[in-house]
């Protein structure tokens, strides 16, 4: 049998109010791709963070290549050849790629200063060795998440990692970027003798990539199997403890007035290039308009413009009968708009605040939550928070827990719970199920359809075509800031829509 590079023996980790890992005994073997799956809050990231030394277990032991870990610290783990790419990246946006990779490295201690030329060379050499291409001179803030992830991986390789942990690496990637990543992972394992542990919610990825898979539920390891001896259905059942059915959603016939209308919309992206080049659409009450497109074709800017986070240069936007030109996000919200942003950590949540306070954002001056707009009525707000936590199945020890300590998927549920309970007629929804487990995806989809059936006008941007197809009444494809096609639900297949997502136009388009 292959050498065991990592062994967990009876490992438990307790946080105040939660047993995040409970008596876990498991091993990782040299040269394998090991997948970890499980519901949001099951303890996947916690277990991997323990291995990386970010926290010490409450109980139990960890062995690296047969040697017992006595000191839980990333510096120790790195020294032992472990590298971790986190669920939320940890790069310095204003620094170049080269600076980020070389930054904070142990090797630097020997020499205080590393010059730019040398950093560039180091990175170019790394790229060649591992087949992961990046331009070392670009700043992190100017590159896509796919590239940022490469940088994170290169950083761990630069530090000499031979056991790599990837925590939900594909959650933020396009299908093409995912394919590229998998090629890199295979190369690392097959040609360069590395071991890779990957956490993911996408069971098709588990099947396609891994040698073995471990399933976690509520802090426990439910089982480890060889991937070839299981299938998606069985894994899903092990994860949630029941069969997961994606039943047909119950869509009611609705006829409403137009609540969102855009005409000739032109806007620039954060780097000053035109991201939207003349967009027209209208969305009625009781309708979901799905926006399909390969990431980076204007979807982000479209939602930013609609929510008031970005100004537009030309054209008009009318929401609930009013032009929104010059309005702030807060003013647009007052027109009856709720917004689930694509990046929950930057714009959706305050990590340092409690779940309760995050759920109250936007309501904190309103009756009955506050008296005279100032004094929060904690009895009422507490009940409100508890109801939402329960209703949206946020896995937590309680409403006073800081949002920053929740698991990734549970943070997303907090944003959705808050925005959906504002009871607005208009919803702007971006990537609603990113990082969310399959049980919760089913739940969130049902909630979106419920809103639609109640008469909300909804725009839905998602990188998941399955999601767009399942929920939308009508779909548009965006390519380089223009609409290349428009289809009613049922009019086109997932295979065929790719044609329009890559720039081809449907009849009637102005080619
Ligand atoms: N630093 C922390 N302080 C307090 N509680 C924490 C901390 N980190 C994690 N937890 C709790 O431990 C549990 C497991 O969290 P973990 O992040 O490991 O879940 P996960 O399986 O990675 O979920 P997801 O799929 O949503 O990322 C959760 O209940 C979470 O709230
Ligand atoms: Mg996690």
pLDDT of residue 279: 96
- Nearest Cα residue to atom 17 of ligand 1: 407
Query: Is 277's pLDDT higher than 60?
Result: yes
What pLDDT, in 10s, does the model give residues 118-156?
888 889 999 998 888 899 999 998 888 888 999 999 999
Distance 44 CA to ligand 1 centre (A): 8
pLDDT tens per residue across span 239-275: 988 777 767 788 888 778 999 999 999 999 988 999 9
Ligand 1 atom closest to residue 411's alpha carbon, by position in its atom list: 26
For residue 358, pLDDT over 60 is answered with: yes
Nearest CA to ligand 1 atom 24: 40
- Best probe residue, ligand 1, of 11, 17, 18 (max atoms within 8 Å of C-beta): 18
Looking at 147-292, which runs of residues are DSSP E strands?
163-167, 195-199, 212-217, 220-226, 258-268, 274-284, 287-292
Contact 453, 254 (CB under 8 A): yes
* Residues framing ligand 1 (Cβ under 6 A): 15, 18, 20, 38, 40-46, 87, 395-396, 405-410
Q: DSSP readout, 316-382?
A: EEEETTEE-TT--HHHHHHTTEEEE-S-IIIII--TTSBHHHHHHTTTTTSTTTEETTTEE-HHHHH
- Looking at residues 341-348, what average pLDDT do you find? 81
The answer to whether domain 245-336+425-511 has CATH 3.40.50.300 is yes
With the most atoms of ligand 1 within 8 angstroms of its CB, the residue from 15, 172, 403, 412 to mutate is 15
Residue boundaries of the structural domains of the chain: 4-240, 245-336+425-511, 346-423
* pLDDT tens profile 399-412: 999 999 999 899 99
- Rounded to the nearest angstrom, the distance between the alpha carbon of 353 and the centre of ligand 1 is 16
CA of 187 to the centre of ligand 2 (A): 25
How would DSSP label each residue in 434-471? TT--HHHHHHHHHHHHHHHHTT-EEEEE-S-HHHHHHH
Tell how far the Cα of 35 is from the centroid of ligand 1, in angstroms.
Answer: 18
> How does residue 364 score in pLDDT terms, banded at 50, 70 and 90?
confident
Q: Phi then psi for 442, rounded to 5 degrees?
A: -55, -45
pTM for this one? 0.87
Tell me if the bond preceding 442 is cis, omega within 30° of 0: no
Which of 406, 412, 433, 441 is the best mutation target for the ligand 1 pocket, counting ligand atoms within 8 Å of the beta carbon and taking the most? 406
If you take atom 1 of ligand 1, which residue's CA is the nearest one? 405
Tokens of 435: 């990082």
CATH of domain 4-240: 3.40.50.300
Q: How far is the CA of 382 from the centre of ligand 2 (A)?
A: 26
Residue 99, φ and ψ in degrees, nearest 5: -65, -40
pLDDT tens digits, residue range 16-73?
Answer: 989 999 999 999 999 999 999 999 999 999 999 999 999 999 999 999 999 999 999 9
State yes or no: pLDDT of 111 exceeds 80.
no
Intrachain domains 4-240 and 245-336+425-511 with the same fold: yes
Tens-place pLDDT, residues 410-469: 999 999 999 999 999 999 999 999 988 988 898 899 999 999 999 999 999 998 899 999
């Amino acid at each position: 049998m292959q050498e065991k590079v990592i062994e967990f023996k009876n490992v438990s980790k307790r946080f105040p109010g939660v047993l995040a890992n409970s008596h876990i005994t498991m091993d990782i073997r040299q040269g394998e791709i090991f997948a970890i799956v499980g519901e949001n809050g099951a303890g996947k990231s916690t277990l991997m963070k323990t291995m990386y030394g970010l926290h010490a277990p409450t109980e139990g032991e960890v062995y690296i290549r047969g040697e017992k870990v006595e000191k839980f610290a990333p510096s120790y783990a790195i020294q032992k050849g472990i590298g971790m790419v986190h669920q939320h990246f940890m790069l310095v946006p204003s620094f170049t790629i080269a600076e980020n990779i070389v930054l904070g490295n142990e090797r630097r201690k020997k020499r205080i200063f590393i010059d730019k030329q040398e950093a560039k060379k180091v990175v170019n050499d790394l790229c060649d060795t591992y087949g992961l291409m990046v331009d070392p001179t670009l700043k992190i803030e100017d590159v896509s998440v796919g590239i940022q992830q490469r940088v994170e991986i290169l950083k761990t390789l630069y530090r000499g990692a031979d056991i790599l942990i990837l925590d939900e690496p594909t959650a933020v990637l396009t299908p093409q970027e995912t394919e590229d990543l998998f090629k890199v992972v295979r190369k690392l394992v097959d040609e360069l003798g590395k071991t890779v542990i990957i956490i993911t919610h996408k069971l098709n990825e588990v099947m396609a990539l891994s040698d073995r898979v471990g399933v976690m539920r509520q802090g426990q390891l439910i089982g480890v199997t060889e991937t070839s001896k299981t299938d998606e259905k069985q894994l899903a059942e092990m994860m949630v403890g029941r069969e997961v059915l994606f039943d047909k959603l119950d869509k009611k016939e609705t006829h409403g007035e137009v609540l969102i209308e855009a005409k000739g919309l032109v806007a620039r992206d954060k780097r000053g290039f035109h991201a939207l080049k003349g967009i027209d659409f209208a969305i009625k009450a009781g309708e979901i308009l799905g926006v399909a497109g390969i990431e980076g074709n204007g979807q982000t800017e479209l939602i930013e413009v609609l929510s008031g986070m970005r100004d537009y240069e030309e054209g008009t936007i009318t929401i609930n009968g009013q032009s929104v030109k010059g309005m702030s996000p807060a003013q647009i919200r007052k027109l009856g708009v709720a917004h689930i942003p694509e990046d929950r950590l930057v714009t959706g949540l305050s990590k340092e605040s409690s779940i309760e306070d995050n759920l109250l954002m936007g309501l904190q001056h309103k009756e009955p939550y506050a008296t005279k707009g100032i004094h929060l009525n904690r009895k009422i707000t507490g009940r409100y928070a508890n109801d939402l936590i329960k209703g949206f199945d946020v896995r937590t020890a309680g409403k006073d827990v800081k949002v920053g300590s929740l698991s990734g998927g549970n943070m997303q549920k907090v944003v959705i719970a808050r925005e959906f309970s504002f009871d607005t007629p208009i919803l702007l929804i971006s990537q609603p199920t990113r990082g969310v487990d399959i049980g919760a995806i089913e739940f969130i989809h049902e909630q979106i359809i419920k809103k639609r059936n109640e008469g909300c006008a909804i725009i839905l941007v998602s990188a998941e075509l399955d999601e767009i197809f399942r929920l939308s009444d009508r779909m548009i494809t965006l390519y380089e800031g223009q609409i290349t096609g428009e289809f009613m639900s049922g009019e086109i297949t997932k295979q065929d829509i790719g044609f329009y997502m890559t720039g081809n136009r449907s009849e009637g388009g102005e080619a």
